[in-house]
Amino acid sequence: MIRHSTARRIAGVALAASLLGGLAACAPSSSTDDEGATATQAEIDAALEKGGSLTFWTWAPQATDIVAAFEEAHPNVDVKLENVGTGNDHYTKLQNAIKAGSGAPDVAQIEYFAFPQFALSGALQDLSGFGAESLKDQYTPGTWGSVAINGGIYGLPQDSGPMALFYRQDVFDGLGLDVPKTWDEYLEAARAIHAANPDHYIINDIGDAGFTESMIWQAGGHPYTTDGENVKIDFASDEGTQKWTEVWNTMLAEGLVAPVPAWSDEWFKRLGDGSIASLVIGAWMPGNLENGAPAGAGQWRVAPVPTYDGGAGANSENGGGGDAVISQSKNKPLAYGFLQFLNGPEGAAIHAAGGGFPSTLADLESKEFLGYQSDYFGGQKINDVLVQGSKDVLPGWTFLPFQAYANSIYGDTVGQAYATNGDLNEGLAKWAEGSIAYGNEQGFTASGE
Partner 1 sequence: MTPKSPAPTAPPARPDRRRWVGWAFVAPFMAVFLLVLVAPVLYSIYLSLFREQLIGGTSFVGLENYGRALVDPKFWDSFGRVLFFLLVQVPIMLLLALAAALAIDSGRLRFAAFFRVSLFLPYAVPAVVATLMWGFIFGTRFGLIGNLNDLLHLELPAPLSHSWILAAIGNIVTWEFIGYNMLIFYSALRVIPGDLYEAAALDGAGQFRVVTDIKLPAIRGAIVIASIFSVIGSFQLFNEPNILKPLAPNAISTYFTPNMYAYNLSFAGQQFNYAAAVAIIMGIATMVIAYVVQLTGSRKEQAR
Binding residues vs partner 1 (CB under 8 A): 3-4, 6-8, 10-12, 14-16, 18-24, 26, 28-29, 88, 92, 95, 99, 120-121, 206-207, 229, 260-261, 264-266, 269, 401-402, 404-405, 408-409, 411-412, 415-416, 418-420, 438, 441-444
Nearer Cβ to partner 1 (90/168): 90
Give min distance, CB of 7 to partner 1, in A: 5
Q: Which is nearer to partner 1, 133 or 229 (CB)?
A: 229
Question: Which of 402, 431, 396 minimizes the C-alpha distance to 240?
Answer: 396
User: Cβ of residue 32: shortest distance to partner 1, in angstroms?
Assistant: 12
Minimum distance, C-beta of residue 115 to partner 1, in the bound complex (Å): 14
C-alpha to C-alpha distance for 17 and 293, rounded to whole angstroms: 45
d(CA 126, CA 116): 12
CB of 411 to partner 1, least distance (A): 5
Smaller CB distance to partner 1: residue 173 or 229?
A: 229
SS3 per residue for the chain: CHHHHHHHHHHHHHHHHHHHHCCCCCCCCCCCCCCCCCCCHHHHHHHHHHCEEEEEECCCCCHHHHHHHHHHHCCCEEEEEECCCCCHHHHHHHHHHHHHCCCCCCEEEEEHHHHHHHHHCCCECCHHHHCHHHHHHHECHHHHHHHEECCEECCEECECCEEEEEEEHHHHHHCCCCCCCEHHHHHHHHHHHHHHCCCCECEECCCCHHHHHHHHHHCCCCCEEEECCEEEECCCCCHHHHHHHHHHHHHHHCCCEECCCCCCHHHHHHHHHCCECEEEEECCHHHHHHHHCHHHCCCEEEECCCECCCCCCCECECCCEEEEEECCCCCHHHHHHHHHHHCCHHHHHHHHHCCCCECEHHHHCCHHHHCCCECCCCCECHHHHHHHHHHCECCCCCCCCCHHHHHHCHHHHHHHHHHCCCCHHHHHHHHHHHHHHHHHHCCCEEECC
Residue with smaller CB distance to partner 1, 308 or 405: 405
Could you tell me the smallest distance in angstroms from the CB atom of residue 132 to partner 1?
24
Q: Phi-psi category of 230—alpha, beta or left, where left has phi over 0 and alpha has psi -120 to 50?
A: beta
Shortest gap between Cβ of 18 and partner 1 (angstroms)?
5
Nearest to 318 by CA among 209, 211, 166: 211
From the CB of 76, what's the least distance to partner 1, in Å? 37
124 vs 177, which CB is nearer to partner 1? 124
Least distance to partner 1, CB of residue 118, Å: 11
Give the contacts of 328 (CB within 8 A, at least 6 positions apart). Answer: 30, 97, 98, 101, 102, 104
Of 229 and 239, which CB lies nearer to partner 1 in the complex structure?
Answer: 229
Residue nearer to partner 1 on the CB measure, 17 or 42: 17
Distances, alpha carbon 98 to alpha carbons 91, 145, 308, in Å: 10, 25, 43
Judged by CB, which is closer to partner 1: 41, or 447?
A: 447
Residue among 24 and 42 whose Cβ is closer to partner 1: 24
With respect to partner 1, which residue has the nearer C-beta, 203 or 334?
203
User: Nearest approach, Cβ of 134 to partner 1 (angstroms)?
Assistant: 31
Supply the minimum distance, in Å, between the C-beta of residue 290 and partner 1.
Answer: 22
Q: Least distance (Å) from partner 1 to the CB of residue 42?
A: 37
Nearer to partner 1 (CB atom), residue 176 or residue 443: 443
